[in-house]
Chain A
Amino acid sequence: MKIWAKNCPSRKTNSDWGVDPMNHLISLPLFAVKTTQPSDFGTLAALVVFIVASMWIGWLANKAMQKSSFMKGFFLGNRGLGAWALALTATVQSGGTFMGFPSLVYSHGWVVALWICGYMVVPITGFGILGKRMAHLSRRTGAITVPDLFRSRFDSPMLGLLASLLIMFYMSFMMVAQFKAGAVVMKHSWPGSDSRGLSEDLPAFKLTTNARESLKDRGVPAETVEKLVALDDKGFDSEKDLRAELSKVLSEEGVKQHAVAIVGAAEQLDWHYLIGLGVFTLTVVSYTLLGGFLAAVWTDLFQSVMMLVGVMLLLVLVVSATGGPEAATTAAVAKLGPTYAYGPGYDPTGMGRQFLPVSLAFSFFWVWVYSGVGSPAGMVRIMAGKSTGVIRRSIYLLAGYNLMIYLPLVVICICGRALIDLPAGKTDSIIPELSIFTTKDLPGGSLIAGLILAAPFGAVMATVSSYLVVIASGLVRDVYQRFINPHAPQQTLRRMSYMVMIGVGVIAILANIRPVAYLQVIVVFSGTGAAATFCIPAIMLAFWRRATVAGMIASMLGGAGTMVMLYILGSQGFGEQNIGAASAFRPYFLLGVDPLIWGLAVSLIAGVVISLSTTPPPAETVSRLFDVEPKLTEKPA
């Protein structure tokens, strides 16, 4: 149980944590290692293996998709997805979920189990509400994309175009954020990096320990460097912010003499970041060009399996190292107080911030479920399912997978609190730190740690890949083929698809040379915004004969408009500022609940009221998609 004691740089006694040494916790080594070890080549090697594997998967997908036309093969994988591929790729969240989530558990404690527990029903809601009907409708209409479905169900090109534009609006936010995430992970994996956190976010300037030490080599006096300890690991979004902080810890003369060197050392968007951005973009665009939809799905499947292996491995290692969650929790509560074990969660800032009041716990049970149901990328994958049997099996396969991922991750990070003591700004590195820490004495430990670390990187790649396919299909299928060149030959469509993907890659690089801040919040806005926009319209499309084009447009715009408005109000300082994420770009939690719930409510009311106030759709159009299948040889009137 004390496997790391001899290596521990800063041992503490039991009484340091205020724990009675006579109680049952005596067997638990109640000290934490304050650590951030430099990355070694293991992490980078693991990422390289992932990159090579992804290219290989892209090549395999390229071979597999050549069975039918380019469009159906490239954008829908010939509707051939099996149960495992569908289960582990249609509703599992992006890499961000696996990176941000452990950090939240480490920081706020057991209440994060309540925050995430909506996932207990995500498999059944994600496939059971719309799955069968989406697969059914997409075959009846020949739809390849989600806008295709809206267009053909209501016989309205305008509705299809609106759906396409809204999907691209949300996807663009998500895409830019995910490219940055991939670049940041690569930067952190660089040998010698002192920040192993797989954080998606990265401030423009940050004075890390290594950066501070390097100032001595740049001729900055030791006593000046010593004063900069006060800025350790603080992030700054601009040079101006950093200089303002420097003027508080250094004399005017000191700032004048050394500011350039300090700013240079603190610059985070350095050549490691830019190389990471370039390599990441080249890799993900290349394999998606090669294999299209199937490449995106197969890499997603690959990383999901790797993630499960990593979590199971880490669970055994961490629990055996701490003696279990009970001991770890008791130690944490003794040090941090009861909020680590109860709601609304521990507040590391000490500012009285409530991580999860009951109103937000209620909200998140909606957020996870309806973000899955209303996700356009998830809907496309369901449309690509081979049969209803595949959809059925996906439900229980994903249920088992979620059970083995989320609660074990909570246990891992609660135990991690007893093993490793991380400063507030570095909690996102808890999984990488635990991986290194628990495997360092095992044979082949660095390889195991590298694989655990590389899985989230694979998740980011898979997310970007699937969004590339959705954006390319939106532009090529829903805009170019529908409105500009309906009779475009396959070769032209293929060339257009490739050009769009390369174009998106170039734009993503340009947008990320000076990347946006508030990345995590933007990802949440994008996911919940898409859900508020498409969830109710998709349910109406699938089940309500009386839904009309005007009703659908009102429903989409109502959901989207509500989300945008609540985010604008929140960012302007309206409402309770002491709950939810601490960020300048934030929503207005009207009555304390997430904007998604208001977005869904407005979308539902607008869709139903406007549909009932407008002329019913032609009976023939509805019948063709709801009633016993008409013969396909009969042309519509």
Chain B
Amino acid sequence: MTTSNEDPAVRSARREAWVVFGIWLAALTYTIGYCSQFGYGRSAEDLKFVLGFPDWVFWGVLTPWVVCSAISLWFGATFMCDEDLGEELPEQEDELGLGG
């Protein structure tokens, strides 16, 4: 529920939270999906390596980890916008019951 008068900081924070939730869900789905498929119940003869990592760790953990780090860089450097956090409530007004 939003209003036309909603603070831009609230609006952008909500939008960013949804994007982050989507990123988490995508990472969860890919990582657990891939690893459960290729990281369980295999034999020793089947062991293959990519850059020193067992193949399922490389594609199922390392690769998404690097991708998520890159997404974090993009998110923090360009997607998330700066907002004015507002003037801090002076401590003497705290007695009004606003929390300070």
Residues on A with beta carbons closer than 8 Å to the beta carbon of B56? 342
* Interface residue ranges of A319-356 to B (CB < 8 Å): 324-326, 329-330, 333-334, 337-338, 341-344
Interface size on A, residues (CB 8 A): 85
Residues on B with beta carbons closer than 8 Å to the beta carbon of A136? 7, 9-10, 13, 83, 85-86
Residues on A with beta carbons closer than 8 Å to the beta carbon of B90? 142, 632
CB of A365 within 8 A of CB of B100, answer: no
Complex CA gap A338/B39 in Å reads 11
Q: In chain B, what residue has the closest Cβ to A404?
A: B69
CB of A324 within 8 A of CB of B7, answer: no
* Interface residue ranges of B53-100 to A (CB < 8 Å): 53-54, 56-57, 60-62, 64-66, 68-69, 71-73, 75-77, 80-83, 85-91, 93-100
CB of B6 within 8 A of CB of A132, answer: no
Q: In chain B, what residue has the closest Cβ to A143?
A: B99
CB of B87 within 8 A of CB of A632, answer: yes
**Is A52 an interface residue when CB atoms closer than 8 A count as contact?**
no
What's the least CB distance linking A635 to chain B, in Å? 6
Residues on A with beta carbons closer than 8 Å to the beta carbon of B24? 121, 124-125, 369
CB of B88 within 8 A of CB of A542, answer: no
Complex CA gap A393/B96 in Å reads 35
CB of A123 within 8 A of CB of B72, answer: yes
CB of A342 within 8 A of CB of B54, answer: yes
Most chain A CB within 10 A, of B46, B60, B64, B68, is at: B68
CB of B53 within 8 A of CB of A133, answer: no
Residue-wise, chain A 371-404 has the 8 Å CB interface mask toward B (1 for contact) of 0000000000000000111011111101110110
What's the least CB distance linking A531 to chain B, in Å? 14
Known: A110-B54, A132-B83. A543 touches B17 (CB 8 A): yes
CB of A128 within 8 A of CB of B16, answer: yes
Complex CA gap A114/B61 in Å reads 7
Flag the segment in A187-195, A206-214, A622-630 that touches B: A622-630
Most chain B CB within 10 A, of A124, A148, A396, A627, is at: A124
What's the least CB distance linking A128 to chain B, in Å? 4
Q: In chain B, what residue has the closest Cβ to A400?
A: B69
**Is A144 an interface residue when CB atoms closer than 8 A count as contact?**
yes
* Interface residue ranges of B4-62 to A (CB < 8 Å): 5-7, 9-10, 12-14, 16-17, 19-21, 23-24, 27-28, 31-32, 35-36, 39-44, 46-47, 49, 52-54, 56-57, 60-62
Complex CA gap A320/B95 in Å reads 63
Complex CA gap A542/B15 in Å reads 12
**Is A225 an interface residue when CB atoms closer than 8 A count as contact?**
no
CB of B61 within 8 A of CB of A117, answer: yes
CB of B47 within 8 A of CB of A543, answer: no
Residue-wise, chain A 13-35 has the 8 Å CB interface mask toward B (1 for contact) of 00000000000000000000000
CB of A333 within 8 A of CB of B13, answer: no
**Is A216 an interface residue when CB atoms closer than 8 A count as contact?**
no
CB of B88 within 8 A of CB of A388, answer: no
CB of A343 within 8 A of CB of B96, answer: no
Complex CA gap A188/B39 in Å reads 37
**Is A361 an interface residue when CB atoms closer than 8 A count as contact?**
yes
Complex CA gap A151/B98 in Å reads 8
Residues on B with beta carbons closer than 8 Å to the beta carbon of A130? 17
Residues on B with beta carbons closer than 8 Å to the beta carbon of A387? 82, 85
What's the least CB distance linking B10 to chain A, in Å? 5
CB of A125 within 8 A of CB of B20, answer: yes
**Is A489 an interface residue when CB atoms closer than 8 A count as contact?**
no
What's the least CB distance linking A38 to chain B, in Å? 34
Complex CA gap A486/B21 in Å reads 40
* Interface residue ranges of A598-637 to B (CB < 8 Å): 623-624, 626-629, 632, 635-636
Inter-chain CB contacts under 8 Å: number? 235
Residues on B with beta carbons closer than 8 Å to the beta carbon of A108? none
Residues on A with beta carbons closer than 8 Å to the beta carbon of B66? 403
CB of A545 within 8 A of CB of B1, answer: yes
CB of A542 within 8 A of CB of B40, answer: no
What's the least CB distance linking A288 to chain B, in Å? 23
Known: A128-B75, A136-B83. A636 touches B47 (CB 8 A): no
Complex CA gap A394/B72 in Å reads 10
What's the least CB distance linking A614 to chain B, in Å? 16
**Is A129 an interface residue when CB atoms closer than 8 A count as contact?**
yes
CB of B98 within 8 A of CB of A152, answer: yes
CB of B96 within 8 A of CB of A635, answer: yes
Residues on B with beta carbons closer than 8 Å to the beta carbon of A366? 28
CB of A142 within 8 A of CB of B93, answer: yes
Known: A142-B93, A333-B47, A626-B6. A324 touches B52 (CB 8 A): yes
Residues on B with beta carbons closer than 8 Å to the beta carbon of A623? 3, 5
Known: A117-B31, A124-B71. A152 touches B44 (CB 8 A): no
Known: A79-B88, A152-B98. A395 touches B52 (CB 8 A): no
Q: In chain A, what residue has the closest Cβ to B70?
A: A399
What's the least CB distance linking A327 to chain B, in Å? 9
**Is A10 an interface residue when CB atoms closer than 8 A count as contact?**
no
What's the least CB distance linking B96 to chain A, in Å? 6
CB of A338 within 8 A of CB of B47, answer: yes
What's the least CB distance linking A483 to chain B, in Å? 13
Complex CA gap A151/B96 in Å reads 12
Residue-wise, chain A 400-432 has the 8 Å CB interface mask toward B (1 for contact) of 101100010001000000000000000000000
Residues on A with beta carbons closer than 8 Å to the beta carbon of B23? 121, 124-125
Can you list 15 A-B contacts with CB-CB less than 8 angstroms, sorted by A residue number? A113-B57, A120-B27, A120-B65, A121-B24, A125-B20, A142-B89, A142-B98, A325-B53, A342-B54, A365-B27, A411-B52, A626-B3, A632-B89, A636-B96, A636-B98
Q: A114-B31, A626-B7 are in contact. List 18 more A-B contacts (CB 8 A).
A: A124-B23, A132-B16, A133-B13, A139-B89, A141-B99, A142-B99, A152-B99, A333-B47, A358-B32, A365-B31, A388-B80, A388-B83, A399-B72, A407-B62, A542-B13, A624-B98, A626-B3, A632-B89
- Interface of A with B (CB < 8 Å)? 69, 71-72, 79, 110-111, 113-114, 117, 120-121, 123-125, 127-130, 132-133, 135-136, 139-144, 148-149, 151-153, 155, 324-326, 329-330, 333-334, 337-338, 341-344, 358, 361-362, 365-366, 369, 387-389, 391-396, 398-400, 402-403, 407, 411, 486, 539, 542-546, 623-624, 626-629, 632, 635-636
Q: Across chains A and B, which 8 residue pairs bring their CB atoms closest together, nearest first?
A: A152-B99, A142-B100, A142-B89, A395-B76, A399-B72, A141-B99, A128-B20, A343-B40
